[in-house]
Structure 1
């Protein structure tokens, strides 16, 4: 089964107008998945930025990164990914999470999934 490790998420605002959402992680395949990958099975990543709802309300998807295929070098079991998305800087919840899923392309299966939270209180509010 595919596993997601070393997930990190950060937010910066280099120009004060936009926010840059950076997500990095490693994805590891099993030997069987690698064999199937070498034979043509594809892997797709889906990344969402989720804001925590106030007072127990449901989480809200704030931003979705465009999906991309995860490419492994022939015979490799681990791929390191780093993605950035620039979005308008607007008011957002106090707590954010990056949610990463890696799915088999063309198969209806449960994806590998990992979440990484970031709290706005850990960085100055004006930084986002």
Structure 2
């Protein structure tokens, strides 16, 4: 499947994320296919423009519990190893993504991956 990035999609992404049009095009073009599909799905399923995107597989009945458990496990592991503080969300998300990939063969994208212009702390 090829990415079809047209002016309508760029405008929709711009409108939903408040990303400047040129930057929206750049971001969409730079996404790998799996992330691109997830962002498109999030645009359809998460219409509140006040909220950043999250990976829509978190709402799927087959993966919801698995992802929640992986996030809990990742948080515990990061807390034990590094403690929790500013920026620890990135360590937790990286660890959760690794757990999901290694144990369940699930590709999950963190909020930072889903929202590349949002700064998380």
Name the structure with the higher helix share. Answer: 2
- TM above 0.5, yes or no, is no
**TM-score interval, normalised by the smaller of the two chains:** under 0.3
Answer 1 or 2: higher relative contact order, Cα 8 Å, separation at least 6.
1
Q: What TM-score, normalized by structure 2, do the two folds share?
A: 0.23
Name the structure with the higher strand share. Answer: 1
Q: What TM-score, normalized by structure 1, do the two folds share?
A: 0.22
